[in-house]
Amino acid sequence: MPINPTHQEKTSIAKKTIVVLMGIVLVFSIIEGAITGYLVHSYNKHHTYPSHSIRDRVRFLLFCSWWTVVWAIAYITFHFTAAAGSVIGVVLNTLALGATWVFWLGGSASLSAAMRHRHYGNTVHHSQLRAGEGFGWATWILLTFDMLVALYVAFDTSRNGSPAKEENMRQIESPA
């Protein structure tokens, strides 16, 4: 790659970065889904949840996990099958990413707040609750980076046009 990458190269790198980050988010969401799924199953089976607040927040993180798994798979599939640089695709994906980011922020913050107000060190599944909290925040951080790159692509595409469109126009103007 040249020292000063072109607009197309920057956008291409950014789009690849989004897909790589989304793959990592997918893995973290599956892990979070397994942790929170186990907690919800165990709490429902044995009625051992520390409080209704913890129960509800763990259930919300379970929803966030599987929502993100479905959405990340759809996003990655869309990336490899859709026309590159579609403005509608960029806008829709940025909006869905924003909603997912808000879900994770709300779920992680609410579980952290609920666990800080009481001492749950001696409760059943304390370590799993902490792991769920940690993976929730880690996923939110990854989504934050992903959103920043997606916003860069969205603004760059709206300002400079689609890189795919530019390439097609060059091919039409100067046939080989």
Q: For residue range 62-93, what is the model confidence (pLDDT) as tens digits?
A: 999 999 999 999 888 887 776 555 666 667 77
| Domain-located, residue 26 | yes
* Domain membership of residue 86 as a residue range: 8-158
| Domain-located, residue 36 | yes
The answer to whether the beta carbons of residues 18 and 149 sit under 8 Å apart is yes
| Domain-located, residue 128 | yes
Report pLDDT digits (tens) over 103-139. Answer: 999 999 999 998 886 666 667 788 899 999 999 999 9
**Rounded distance between C-alpha atoms, residue 121 and residue 129, angstroms:** 10
- Unique residue bearing structure tokens 């996003």: 75
**Rounded distance between C-alpha atoms, residue 149 and residue 162, angstroms:** 16
| H-run or E-run covering 157 | helix 126-160
- The number of distinct structural domains making up the chain is 1
| Domain-located, residue 176 | no
| Domain-located, residue 164 | no
